[in-house]
Amino acid sequence: MLNAGQFVDERFGEPTVRDIITELEKPGRDPRPTFQTATFKEDVHEVKDLQPGMSLQGMVSNVTKFGCFVDVGVHQDGLVHISELADEFVKDPRTIVKAGDVVQVKVLEVDANRKRISLTMRKNAGAKPGAHGPSQKSDNSAAKTKPKSSKSTNPKQRARKPETETAMAAAFANLRVVKKK
């Protein structure tokens, strides 16, 4: 057993040295999280090697409000637009991915001249977002149909205030009632 007092100097006190010795006695233990890397395709080295429809593994390099950028091993990150992140509606890309995530993507479009790569992470690529997944919008069929107009002869019924009325709307409603009299 090592004596911690042997290693004490003006930079490190005995408690610090003791903690270091204790940790060194645990061989093979690494407190860091496991490091994941994407497995790039061996035959893909440049943007011109990419073809629409190719499935690739990549690593998320950056997340923005409009999507995320994924490194697929061609020295040019591809964009996964927010509408292509999942089969359902995505409000914030950070709820789906974060920088450093290893993801499976499919190439949608490649513009070698402009060095732009369009990618998707959707399982149902080609379908409209929300077509096969749960929708965030509620089906409000009553709101879609036109209300039947009730042409009442009573001016007080016509000037009835809606629940969410602005001051300007109330003024115009009162103006119509006054002019009809």
**What is the total residue count of the chain?**
181
Q: Comparing 117 with 161, which gets the higher pLDDT?
A: 117
Q: What's residue 143's pLDDT? A: 43
Q: Whole-model pTM? A: 0.54
Please, what is the end-to-end C-alpha distance for the chain in angstroms? Answer: 105
Q: What percent of the chain has pLDDT over 70?
A: 71
Token pair, residue 135, equals: 């929708």
* pLDDT digit string, tens, across residues 24-55: 888 777 777 777 788 888 888 899 999 999 99
Are 100 and 60 spatial neighbours (Cβ–Cβ below 8 Å)? yes
User: With 0-12 CB in 10 A as exposed, 13-18 as middle and 19+ as buried, what is 147?
Assistant: exposed
* Helical ranges in 75-166 per DSSP H: 141-144, 155-158
Q: Two tokens at 120?
A: 């998707």
Question: Which residue type, as a one-letter code, is found at position 84?
Answer: E
Q: Tell me the C-alpha distance between 57 and 83, whole Å.
A: 19
pLDDT of residue 171: 73
